[in-house]
Structure 1
Amino acid sequence: MPVISAPQAFNEDDLYVDLEKIFEYPLFLKCEGFNFAGSIKLKAALEMVETAERDGQLTPDSVLVESSSGNLGVALSMIAANKGYQFVCVTDSRCNPATRKMMEALGSQVHVITEPDPAGGLLGARIEHVKALCARDERYVWLNQYTNPSNSTAHYQHTAPAIARQFPDLDVLFIGAGTTGTLMGCARYFRTWHRPVHVVAIDTIGSVTFGGTPGHRTIPGLGTSIRPPLLDESYIDDVVHVEEADTIRTCHRLARHGFLFGGSTGTIVSGAMTWLARHKKQNLTATAIAPDLGERYLETIYQPTRTHHLRDDDDLSPQTPTTTPQAA
């Protein structure tokens, strides 16, 4: 049995759910929520912190600060608590209440931004707040998940090879687009693999990541109001945009079969099923990455006041998001 002394030392990396019995098309869902941080963000957080330590950016007196919609903030809170750093997470009003409470329970400070920046939205306002904190106190160290190469390196070195080991005949990989760290790390890895892998990015309607029209978004995780600096679209084959209502429908459909996943997973599965339905290719081996589980969304996605109109079985089927082919 594994015995650990640091919470970040444990991460279940080889658990998949076969979704064919729940949905019409076969899809293997890689579950990334089984670690003490509860999400895939543990990989990026640990890589960024350890790189900053090796480079001498972090000292015992440093105060970590990061902008996060939630999951990275929890991962950094856990790592900071274990390593003895102070940590300030700058989030916004869309952050799940349970996520904020988890960060505070781990000893972190949480600054909640409520007023969006006129140009950059809530994300832009969060980043400006982080910059102001760093300008006021030289002890603050901003890891900056939006530009930090370690964000994608973590997935190039760990997530993608783990998928490759389990699925040597992989044809299609579906990945959600947030900071695009997971997306770019995996896409770069499979670009040089022994066989072609069709990489499909899943985004939310209202996100500007791939040039869409900015719109109101309430579910944290995927989507941005500022184009991610890490993104290189030449590695992406298709993009599927998903309505938030379809995210909720898909989460509830999974929950009715005993799988409680988070909002990002609902978006990714909804987009993946739409892509598979449109292409209808036989004998495809398809995998998607589920970033987290659903406990943190009980007061949002699974709140009856938000989902009463989605209770009928017919309403729990994903609708028709938009698919945008990308240049190779």
Structure 2
Amino acid sequence: MAPLMRELQDFENPRFVPLKDKLYAASFHLMKLLPARYMLEQAAARGALQPGATICESSSGTFGLALSMLAARQGYGLVLVSDWALDRHLHRRLEELKAEVSIVVEPAATGGLQQARLDRLQFYLNSIPGSYWPAQYDNPDNPLAYGQFAAQMIAAIGRIDCLIGSVGSGGSMSGSSRYLRALFPELHVIGVDTPNSVLFGQPSGKLGLSGLGGNILPKNVDHSQFDEVHWLTPVETFQATHELHRTHGLFMGPTSGAAYRVAEWWSRKHPDKTAVTIFPDEGHRYSETVYDPQWLSKFPEISATTPEQPADVASPRERMMSWSRFAWERRSLSDVLAT
């Protein structure tokens, strides 16, 4: 089983791209292939995933695509629960890979569309005998998978002083920083989120981004790994995504744009430090949204000037109308909110 899965390993490994002196991007074709492969391998080794079984998961993005690619090669069935925001080109590709895609339209009273998707997912798990749920948000194999990525960073770059990345499931940032700190205890870790996301204490609300933030708190977000947290609005993220493309020729998704904005700012403040920022996936599935001028015209503030630096906030629960920053200081979520 493992050799077949590892045939896709070239797709899960990053390119390390210098953005400027001492600032590097770990740019992925499809980062979620790494944790998806590792989770399925571990589940098969434990006997939790049997040959020919059906995998069931909730995903509206690249984790679902990664599972589809792996399931197609390994002969697993696959049911993906998603929502109306699923890109139509990605939807077509998932079905071409023989995944059954179930679309949720109405949000749950608490937890929004994410909770509604989990409720639908539970129905499939209960009705399909022998089905397996990777549970990317809570599965400890998700962050464990990033030991491989941490080793690749060190081999390519050497000493790393700062790691910057967007946070969704929590696996990439929490797992990578945990491994890196074994060698670099003073590593500075910056998480990037968006307003109305509960991941770092914002009141739950409507999210305008795919792959960044969430209305349900995953167990894989290890808050004690983060030294600071930044929140970028959707429009600021779109602007940064275009700047990344224009300036460096990197055609990436908005989660990469958000990470780039924060990384470029931190690198300017610390020119003698080596920083790495994570770009999780390429921009092809955003060609009709983030990269479409007509779609962007729906946002009147898209032509506004982007702040050159974040505004410091006293609490992660504040209302954030523009790029904001909070000194997290490696504390738990409960400790931060208590103070």
Residue aligning to 1:307: 296
Alignment of 1:87 with 2:82, yes or no, is no
Per-residue CA deviation, residues 273-298 of structure 1 (Å, 9 max, x unaligned), is 34445xx2231111101000011110
Residue aligning to 2:226: 236
Deviation of 1:238 (Å): 0.8
Deviation of 1:104 (Å): 1.0
Residue aligning to 1:327: 329
Q: Under a length normalisation based on structure 2, what TM-score does the superposition of the two structures give? A: 0.86
Q: Distance in 1 between matches of 2:133 and 2:275?
A: 36
Residue aligning to 2:259: 268
Deviation of 1:327 (Å): 2.8
Contact kept? 1:310, 1:316, Cα under 8 Å = no
Specify the code of the residue in structure 2 equivalent to 1:114: V
Matches within 5 A, 1:120-139: 120-139=111-130
Deviation of 1:75 (Å): 0.4
Alignment of 1:28 with 2:18, yes or no, is no
Deviation of 1:269 (Å): 1.0
Q: Distance in 2 between matches of 1:116 and 1:305?
A: 27
Matches within 5 A, 1:4-153: 7-11=7-11, 13-20=13-20, 27-33=23-29, 39-153=30-144
Q: Secondary structure at the match of 2:200?
A: coil
Q: Distance in 2 between matches of 1:143 and 1:311?
A: 37
Alignment of 1:163 with 2:114, yes or no, is no
Q: Under a length normalisation based on structure 1, what TM-score does the superposition of the two structures give? A: 0.88
| Equivalent in 209, 224, 242 of residue 199 of structure 2 | 209
Q: Distance in 2 between matches of 1:154 and 1:214?
A: 29
Contact kept? 2:244, 2:260, Cα under 8 Å = no
Residue aligning to 1:295: 284
Q: Which runs of 5+ in 1 are unaligned?
A: 34-38
Identity fraction in percent: 31
Alignment of 1:184 with 2:171, yes or no, is no
Deviation of 1:254 (Å): 2.2
Per-residue CA deviation, residues 74-113 of structure 1 (Å, 9 max, x unaligned), is 0000000000011011111222222212111111111111
Q: Which runs of 4+ in 1 moved over 6 A?
A: 316-319
Q: Distance in 2 between matches of 1:235 and 1:139?
A: 36
Q: Distance in 1 between matches of 2:78 and 2:86?
A: 17
Q: Secondary structure at the match of 2:11?
A: coil
Deviation of 1:6 (Å): 6.5
C-alpha RMSD over aligned residues: 2.3
Contact kept? 2:235, 2:302, Cα under 8 Å = no
Q: Secondary structure at the match of 1:127?
A: helix
Q: Distance in 1 between matches of 2:266 and 2:220?
A: 24
Give the direction of change, closer, same or farther, for the CA distance of 1:232–1:291 in structure 2 (3 Å limit): same
Q: Distance in 1 between matches of 2:309 and 2:195?
A: 13
Q: Which runs of 5+ in 2 are unaligned?
A: 311-322, 331-339
Q: Secondary structure at the match of 1:19?
A: strand
| Equivalent in 235, 240, 252 of residue 242 of structure 2 | 252
Instruction: Using the TM superposition, name which of 41-50 and 252-261 deviates more.
Output: 252-261
Specify the code of the residue in structure 2 equivalent to 1:322: S
